[in-house]
Every structure is written in C-alpha cells, then in structure tokens.
Amino acid sequence: MDIVCLDLEGVLVPEIWIAFSEASGIPELKRTTRDEPDYNKLMNWRLSILKEHGLGLKEIQETIARIDPLPGAKEFLDELRSITQVIVISDTFTQFAKPLMKKLGWPTLFCNSLEVAPDGEITGFKMRIENSKLSTVKALQSVGFETIAAGDSYNDLDMIRAGKAGFLFRSTEQIKKDNPDLPAFEEFDEFLSAIKQVLG
C-alpha cells in the first residue's frame, strides 16, 4: 500500500516565517537557519521577538490567516487525496500551520507543537522527534506502507531517498544539481502525473 509524504513549506504553502514577517511587518523574523544554524536558538529568538511585539497565538494565527497556499496547491492536494493517502510532514508547528491547513481542506499534518499559556502567550515549543521526516517515513514503512516523498529542501532529501520513489518540487538550482538522479518538477500538473505514474 502506498502513501505520499509531502513537505509543506515551499511545496504547498510559502515559507511561513518569511510570509509571516511580511504579513506582520516584522522584518527581523526573516532570519532563518541559514543565518542561525542552531534551530533551538533561532526559535527561542523568534519567540522573544513575538513577545516583544505583544503577539500571542491568536494574533499570530490571524496574521497567518492572511497568507495563502501556493496557487494550485489545494487543487493538486485534493486530486492526490482522492487517489491515495497523503501525509504532510513539516518542521513547523501545528498552531502556525492551522490557518493554512484550513485553506488546504485539512490534510493530515505531522509536525511539531507550541507550548501556549492560558492567556495565549507562546512560552515554548516541542519538537516531536529527531529527524522527523526520515523517522516518520521509516515508521510508516514499518507498518506496511511504501512511501513516495517530495520536498524542496536539504532536510527533505533523506525521506525522498528512503522510499519507493521521491521527487524534488520547486527546489533550488544547487539541490537539483547535487541530486541529478532525483526527478525535479516546477508545476503541479507534471508533479501529479509523476506521482500517478508511480502509483500505477
């Protein structure tokens, strides 16, 4: 039995922190793991910026609700979910992704969670597991699934390579160049056709 595992940011929705930085008018939040490779440090810094701006979960979700999925993503996902099982696997947080999941028709999302105080202040975060994308794909395989995975970034490569088939979608020139054996797509229709071909 097949299951498709998709990355979220860059594939179905824009990079959430970059879009959020623009929607909220807080340019500091554009800082990513490219600028601060220590993810815990980066997240704690982001949470302190949110606190400084008086942004609790409610305000953040209202801002994220102004961000839209990438054009064509919802239609792609609807059709894919009508023919096979799909899980979106992301390093983001359920509460941040929620407004975008609503716009995508509530697909299954495996990601991380924020710790939120009763007054809405975000006090911390909890990562679900190490190497969440590869760990999840391996766990699915251990219960009888064959995985087909796709993503745009370095942290997707392990899950892409671990399964029966894997694709790059809207990746960078460098990643495509470094992984010439991985089929790479830019448009949802050709991406969907490739997945359908693997599904048979």
- Residues with a catalytic annotation lie at 7, 9
Residues in contact with Mg ion, counted by CB under 5 A, come to a total of: 5
Q: Does 9 bind Mg ion (CB under 5 A)?
A: yes
- Quick check: 182 and 152 in contact, CB under 8 A? no
Q: Does 91 bind Mg ion (CB under 5 A)?
A: no
Residue nearest to Mg ion (CB): 10
Consecutive H or E run containing 78? helix 73-83
Alpha carbons 177 and 158: distance in angstroms, whole number: 16
In angstroms, the Cα distances linking 52 to 37, 40, 49, 89 are 23, 18, 5, 30
- Quick check: 52 and 165 in contact, CB under 8 A? no
Among 3, 4, 7, 145, the residue binding Mg ion under the rule CB under 5 A is: 7
Give the range of 2-10, 56-64, 123-131, 170-178 binding Mg ion by CB under 5 A. Answer: 2-10
Residues 105-164 touching Mg ion, rule: CB under 5 A, are: 152-153
Using the minimum distance from each CB to Mg ion, give the nearer residue, 65 or 175.
175
Shortest gap between Cβ of 28 and Mg ion (angstroms)?
21
Q: Does 166 bind Mg ion (CB under 5 A)?
A: no
- Quick check: 148 and 2 in contact, CB under 8 A? yes
Can you give the binding site for Mg ion, defined by CB under 5 A? 7, 9-10, 152-153
